[in-house]
Homo-oligomer: A and B are copies of this chain.
């Protein structure tokens, strides 16, 4: 008969996991070693695959964080099952630094790079499935959502959450054709995701809003 709870501390804990996972990405970039008498400038380009994996993964985790952030604006309560689903979701997110390191290690090795990219995209799909489950649990029947949010808004957000999952299918297929194309796809998705909504969101000031976002 525990009372239901607000979601502030879950958000803080999740933000911590996101922030750490995204920052740990840098640890997979190794300082290149110069042989005796060698020049750093000659070996520095070795870090390129790692930097690509770093940038891609940073953007991906950043986008997942943005989605999580957005979603919690509609959630008003939490329960133990929701906490558990959120932990499972974070388990997928916190795995990304490993799959990024795998990708960085095998980028540029034909055949192995496809395996690494399929594994990488597979982890993103797991993240997306877990996130869809989390949102489904929270929103179905208005279980944990804010009753003042209209059903149309909820339905639109559901479609939005599902979009990320749908986009992953071509990425898996494309990995067998060309790994660089998959990376380009992620960059395009990032732009498509963030840019076209500028107009909508420029919006008018919303005074007192800042208070509301962190009660």
Contacts and interface: CB of A to CB of B under 8 A. Distances in A.
Interface stretch (A127-135, A163-171, A172-180, A192-200): A192-200
Contacts of A39: 111-112, 115
Interface in A1-33: 1-13, 15-27, 29, 31
A125 to B, nearest CB: 16
Given A4-B201, A18-B13, A202-B143, A66 B91 contact: no
Please classify the interface of chain A as helix (H, G, I), strand (E, B), loop, or mixed, using the class held by over half of its residues: helix
Copies in the complex: 4
Interface residues of A, number: 90
Interface in A97-149: 97-98, 101-102, 105-106, 109, 111-112, 115-116, 119, 143, 147
A211 B211 CA distance: 11
Interface of A: 1-13, 15-27, 29, 31, 34, 39-41, 44, 54-55, 58-59, 62-63, 65-66, 69-70, 73, 76-77, 79-81, 83-84, 87, 90-91, 94-95, 97-98, 101-102, 105-106, 109, 111-112, 115-116, 119, 143, 147, 190, 193-195, 197-198, 200-206, 209-215
